[in-house]
Each structure stands twice: as C-alpha cells, then as structure tokens.
A and B are shown apart, each in its own frame.
Chain A
Amino acid sequence: MHDLAAGLQLILSIETLLWIAAGSILGIVLGALPGLSATMGVALMLPVSFHLPTATGVAMLLAVYAGAVAGASIPAILLGTPGNPNAIATIADGLKMAKQGRAGLALGSAALASLIGGLFSLIVLMSFAPLLARATLLFGPVEKFGLALLGLTLIASISGGQVVRGMAMAAFGILLALLGSDPYTNAPRMPFPEIFARTPLHNGIELIPALIGLFGVSQALVDLERLKAPRPAVPALRLRNLFPSAARLKRMWRVLLESSGIGTLVGMLPGAGASIAVFLAYDRARALTHTPDSGLESTGSGSVEGVMAPESANNAVTGGAMVPVLTLGIPGDAATAVVLGALMIQGVVPGNELFMHNMPLVYAIFIGMAFALVAMFAFQLIGVRLFPHILRVPLSLLIPLVLLLSLVGTFAVDGQAVTKATYNMGVALAMGLIGYAIKKAGYPLVPLVLGLILGAMLEDNYRLAVKLARGDQWVFFQSPILLGMLALIALILFLPRLKRAGILRGARP
C-alpha cells in the first residue's frame, strides 16, 4: 500500500499530466499521418523524456506510443490508408463505414475499442508482470544469456519471415554494441584508436543517438519518396452517434474480450507486434460475427465489429508488449525497444530487481499508462473535427521538422557536454543512413535495435557464466531453464522450415 501511495505521488502532478496529454496528442497526430510511425514518435520524444523525472518520462513515452497506435485508425477510416501497419485491418470495415456516411461512428468506436483493449492489457500487465518478475529470481548469468539469445532469435525469426536477414541484423546490432571497451577490464575495443581516442566515440555508440537515427532520420529519408504521393479526399464527417449503443456493445462482449486477449498475448511475444495481432483479431471477429443468431453485424460489410476488433487488439498490444520489457528487459516490439532504452538510460534495470526495490516506479508506470489511455481516448474524441485538417499537413513540411527534431534531440541528451553532443548528432545521422539503406534493401530493422540493446547483456552474462563454471562451457546445457529456452529457439528456427518441407505432415507438398 505504501508503494502504491509512493507511486501515485510520483505520477500525480500537474507537470506529469500535462506531459501525458502532450504525448498523447503528439502520438495521435503522428499515428494519423501516414508514413510517421509510433516508433518514430517515441524515438523523437526520447530526448525530452531524458529531461523529465523517470516516471513522467516513461508515462509520456507510453502516451505517445498508445496515441500513435490508436491514431493510425484515423486515416485508415477516412482515407483507406493506415497511418501505420497497426491499423491495416481497420480499413476493410472502417472505410466502408465512412463511405456509408458513418465516419463519426467508426472513429468513435475505434477510440472506444482502443481504450478497452488498452485497459484490458494494462490489467493483464499489472497482474502478470510481478509474477513473471518473481520468476526471474531463478535466473543467473546462464539463464540471462539464454534470455538475450531467445529475444534476439524471436525477433529475428518473426521479422517478416526473413530469418537469415533477421539474424544478420541482430548480429550487426550486437557488433555495434560491443564497440567501445571491454566490460570487465575497460580495455579499449575500438578500431583506429589513434583517431577515435581523441573523440567521444572511444566509448562506443550511444543508444539514444542510434535509436533516433534508426527510427527518426531513416524514416524521414524514406518518406522523401512519398512526397508526390496523391492525397485522397477526406469525406465529410457526421458527428452524431459516435458510439454504438450499450445494447450492441453488450452483444459484442466476446468480440472485444477475445480481440483484447489476442492483442495482449501477441504483444507479449517479442517481435510479433500489432500488425500481426490485428489480423488475428479480425479473423476471430469474422468467425464470431458470421455465426448464425450471434446478433452481430458481419465483418466486411462496414460493421462496427470489424472496426472495434482490430482496434482493441492493436491497443492491447501496448500493455502486452510492456510485460517482457518490465520483467525480462526484452522489448515486445520496436516502440517498446525505445521505451526500454529510455528506462536503461535512466538507470532502471528491468526484472525482479525493479519489482523488488523500485515498486513505486512500477506502480507509477502502471498508473501513468492508465492516464495515457484515458488521455488518448479523450483527445481522439475532442480532436475528431480536426482530423481532416491533420491529414492535410504535407510531408514536405513534416520531413524537415522530423530531421531537425532528431538532430537537436540527440544534441539535447548530452547538451552540457557540447563536443560529445555534436558527435552524437553525427552518429544519429550515420545511423539514419544505415537505417535507410537497410529499409530500402528490405531488411528488418528491429533485430538490429535489439542487438544494440541486448549485445552487452549477451557478452557479460556469457563470460560470467563460463567463469563461474570454472571455464566449463557445458554449463549452458545443465540449466533446465536454458535448455527449455534452447528448445524454444530451435523450434522457432526450424518449425517453419519443417512445415514448408512437409515433414511435419508426413509428406512433401
């Protein structure tokens, strides 16, 4: 009880509430603008969070995240173009509703579904995270090494089915993370020491400039190609009946519950992300609404059910994705990878230690997330008349702003050390170019980020585990937990191949 009160004290201030509101508005706007992703929004606000108290900063980032995921439904409904892939399944019914003159109802239902999905996943996060965190008490260096390996494998394998490319990107991220100095002796580990020794780069690549470069700068450069993309006309909004009736919502309880459950579960799986959850939820909603006597409107015909199912799922992903972040230090998706980066930079170590020794911060994050969801719902409704105007903001003005914010934001993180901050701007720019090349060549970016985040954890725990085992490499095959993880890794890597080869079905296709 004392911890809850302390958590409330951390989060209940005018300043925090204002930052949550600002983050939520920014998230909705970024989510609504096609081409600007939730991850980019979180990365751009990372330097701002750095200047705020930890709880306020994390709550603000979560507000951006939840807002951007929900905001993506706006162009999906009004234009038939999702703000980002999280709303791709909303198009089918959302656009039809808009064409039928029910855009207001579609937008209101989407906002309500986002709130329901978000709150559901928050309840799961609050109930499940402490238990999982307690389980990590069993984790020593061997298991932590396995955890880092599992996270990297999961992300690499789910990256659009490109396992080899995902593994390569994860390896690239780890190699970049290992530059700087040896973790146990501090001996330099940087090529061309005669050049780098005189610069702040001798410590290696810092996480914030890398994240901002990979998600902010690279996205701005990619969007340059969309400058001439045609902009569809925004339909007129009819703002009566923003929500379905209570009776209808009652009939939809199963659609909402199952969609939220799917979103939360998928969110917990590192690398899966909302774009997978929305299709699973939509498919499930289709099955439920096509059942005779269900009393529900069939999806695909411009039904509220077809909007609320994917929208509750994509916002449920936000809470689900925070479970592995807070308990294991492994992000569920790209946006939570940036949130994890923010936590680590503030000195917060996820896992049991966080839940044992910093429970007020954990409660503050939970409460902050609840506020963020309510703010997201409120601003989506308040801003409903403004959405058509937001969608008219041209990319030609936004791209320069994103670049400026990326570079100045990077500088601001180390603003008191001017030389280091200037070098960091160069790092952000260089990482932006690398991210651009990776995206354009069709390689996944998220494994690279996870490699950057988990690289040090992988090396530290591997070496510590072997040393504690007196040099015995077999120690990795003696831990039941790690063996379970290794079996899971093997399953993840080889199951799709075995399925493709028809071995599991007993016959070749």
Chain B
Amino acid sequence: MAMPVRPPLALALPLSLFLFALGYIAFTLSLDVERMIGDDAGYDPGSRIVPLTVALILAVTMLWEALKARHGATASAEHGGEAGVEPAPRLLALHVALAVAFVVLFRPLGFILASTLLLYGLTLLNLRHVTHRIGMLGGLAGLAGLAVALAYATALYSLARGTIRAGFWLAREHGATLAREPNAQALCVALALALAMLLAGQALRRLIADPQRRLLIQVSVGATMAVYVVFRLLFLVQLPAGLLSW
C-alpha cells in the first residue's frame, strides 16, 4: 500500500547508504591491489575492481534516491495504512536496548537468566503498550515479578540438571545406558519441566492474583526452558551457564 514515508527515514536511509558507499570507495582505494597467486603476467583484474564498481553503483543510486526524497517524492511503506498500526519509537528503542543488553549479558549471566530477563522485559513492555494496565517496568510489581520469574527459572534449571544427573547415575550404577542418551534425557527433562510448570502454575495462582502477570511469568520461563531443551539437550549446543554453574 502506497503512503508517504516520514521524511527523515526516506531521506536518511539513502543518505546513510550514500555515505557508506563513499566510505567503501575510499576504503577500497586505500587497499593494495591484490592479484591471484601465480598470476605473474598480471591478467587478474585485481581485488579492487568489483568492490569499486559496486560501491559506485550504490553511491549513484542512493544519491538519486536521496535527491528524489528531498524533493518530496513518496515511497511505499510495507506496513502502513492498516487499522491499529501506529509507530512506537519508544517501544522500539526499549526492545533494541533490551536485545543489546541480552547480547552483552548472555555470557556473564548465562543463557537461562539472560533469556528469562529478555522475555520477561519484552513481554512486559508489550503488554503495557497494549493494555496500559501493567505498571512501569521499574515499578515494584514489575521488579517483584521479575524476581519471581528468575527464581522460578533457576528452580526449573536445577530440576533439569538434577534429571540429567539422575540419568547418568542410572546409566553408571544400574547399567541403564538409554538414560544417558541425549534424546532420552531431553525427553525426560521436557516431561519433568512440563509437570513442574503445571504444579507451579497452581502455586502462582495463589501467589499472584493478576492473570496477565501470571501469564507473563509462565511464558517467559516456559519459553526459556523450551529453547534450553531444544538447543542444549537435543543439539548439544554449549549455551553459557553463567551464574548458574551447577
């Protein structure tokens, strides 16, 4: 659907890419021309020609687009015009900030805590944006909910580790070799976690009256544990343990 794009982005993107292209040209020119090994006759056109040509194409096309945007041309935006669709710059900035924090804290905090933190924070922001009912992120209730979610995730992670250890123990002490197979362990952990989450759901009902807050905690912890089971236990990816080193 065609609709006018806000001028800053319609102009800012081609200008940024134009500057990027200029920078790329300068960078390419600063490099030595490399030729293929063994090309003593110098037939290889060298390492500069393709990047330079392509950067020139980008520079020219983006200058053209920037000039068009400057003269008030319109462009199509993918998601414009739909009812209820509205820009949310603050929400976007907070999402990006939390995602950056996740990348930075992923190793020191560990997968479980960082993921729970990310999911809880983002979902809280979204729910607050939609309903305006849940308090501020920094509010006491929000922080208390986060503390509950982190403690809950830690407990479930401990249960998962305990289940895995029990599997190895069974294999070692009783010869149940199947119990040390990754797929069998993943299945056992998934079942144990599902059961624990069902029981915890009942406990959360008594602890937290607001169903949206309960959903927030269950979703952020449940999704974290599901990703843990798939990537860590099924695919054996070395997700960082961080603070939860047991």
Question: Is A87 in the interface zone, CB < 8 Å from B?
Answer: no
Residue of A nearest to B230 (CB): A48
- Please tell me which stretch of B28-36, B138-146, B197-205 contacts chain A, meaning at least 4 of its Cβ atoms lie within 8 angstroms of it: B28-36
B195 interface contact, C-beta 8 A: no
- Kindly identify, within residues 91 to 147 of chain B, every residue whose CB is under 8 Å from any CB belonging to chain A: 91-92, 95-96, 99-100, 102-103, 106-107, 111, 115, 118-119, 122-123, 126-127, 129-130
Among B126, B223, B224, B238, the residue within 8 A (CB) of A227 is B126
Enumerate chain A interface residues (CB-CB to B < 8 A): 48, 51, 160, 164-165, 167-168, 171-172, 174-175, 178, 182, 184-185, 187, 189, 191, 217, 220-222, 224-230, 394-397, 399-401, 403-405, 407-409, 411-412, 415-416, 418, 422, 425-426, 429, 433, 437-443, 458-459, 462-463, 466-471, 473
**B86 part of interface (Cβ distance < 8 Å):** yes
3 nearest A-B pairs in the assembled complex, by CB-CB distance: A229-B84, A396-B126, A400-B122
With A178-B50, A458-B50 in contact, do A226 and B118 touch (Cβ < 8 Å)?
no
Q: Is the CB of B58 within 8 A of A172?
A: yes
Please tell me if B173 contacts chain A, counting CB pairs below 8 Å. Answer: no
- Could you pull out 15 A-B pairs where Cβ atoms are within 8 angstroms? A164-B64, A167-B57, A184-B47, A187-B32, A189-B47, A222-B79, A224-B92, A227-B126, A230-B83, A404-B224, A412-B231, A415-B239, A422-B106, A425-B102, A429-B96
Question: Nearest B residue to A438 by beta-carbon distance?
Answer: B13
Q: Within 8 Å CB of A459, what residues of B?
A: 50-51
The docked-state distance in angstroms from the alpha carbon of A471 to that of B43 is 4
* Residues 158 to 211 of chain B near chain A (Cβ within 8 Å): none
Distance to closest chain A CB from B47 (angstroms): 5
**Considering residues A175, A220, A222, A407, which has the most beta carbons from chain B within 10 angstroms of its beta carbon?**
A175
Q: Are A471 and B50 in contact, with the CB atoms below 8 A? A: no
- Bound Cα distance from A18 to B167, whole angstroms: 24
B155 touches A (CB below 8 Å)? no
Contact of B86 among A221, A228, A467 (CB under 8 A): A228
B36 and A415: CB pair below 8 A?
A: no
B5, B20, B51, B115 pick with most chain A CB within 10 angstroms: B51
20 additional A-B residue pairs with CB within 8 Å, beyond A227-B126, A400-B223, A425-B102? A51-B234, A168-B57, A168-B58, A171-B61, A175-B24, A185-B47, A187-B32, A224-B126, A226-B84, A227-B129, A229-B85, A400-B123, A411-B106, A411-B239, A415-B239, A440-B79, A441-B9, A443-B75, A462-B45, A470-B43
Task: Contact check, A442 vs B76: say whether CB atoms are below 8 A apart.
Answer: yes
Q: Is B219 an interface residue (CB 8 A)?
A: yes
A residues near B51, Cβ cutoff 8 Å = 175, 178, 189, 459
Closest-CB distance, B6 to chain A (whole angstroms): 8
Contacts of A51 in B (CB 8 A): 234-235, 237
Partner of B44, one of A397, A416, A467: A467
Report whether B76 and A224 are in contact in the complex, using a CB–CB cutoff of 8 Å.
no
Query: How far is A399 from B223 in the complex, measured between Cα atoms in Å?
Result: 12
Query: Chain B contact residues: over half helix, strand or loop, or mixed?
Result: helix
Query: In the complex, A174 Cα to B92 Cα: how many Å?
Result: 28
Residues on the B chain within 8 Å of A429, using CB: 96, 99-100, 103
Q: Which residue of chain B is the closest to A168 with respect to CB atoms?
A: B61
Across-interface contacts of B96 in A (CB, < 8 A): 221, 429, 433
Nearest to A469 among chain B residues (CB) is B43
Whether A164 contacts B77 by the Cβ 8 Å rule is: no
Residue of A191, A227, A230 contacting most chain B CB atoms (<10 Å): A227
Name the contact of B223 in the complex, choosing from A224, A228, A404, A438 (C-beta under 8 A).
Answer: A404
| Interface hub of A228, A441, A470 (most chain B Cβ within 10 A) | A441
Closest to B51 in A: A178
Chain B residues with CB under 8 Å of A224's CB are: 88, 91-92, 95, 126
Q: Are B219 and A397 in contact (CB under 8 A)?
A: yes
CB distance from A402 to the nearest CB of B (A): 10
Nearest chain B CB to A406 CB, angstrom units = 9
The complex places the Cα of A167 from the Cα of B51 at a distance, in Å, of: 15
A422 — which chain B residues lie within 8 A by C-beta? 103, 106-107
- Which residues from chain A contact B35 at a C-beta distance below 8 Å? 184-185
Q: Which residue of A lies closest to B10 (CB)?
A: A441
Taking each of B14, B39, B42, B76, which has the highest tally of chain A beta carbons within 10 Å of its own beta carbon? B76
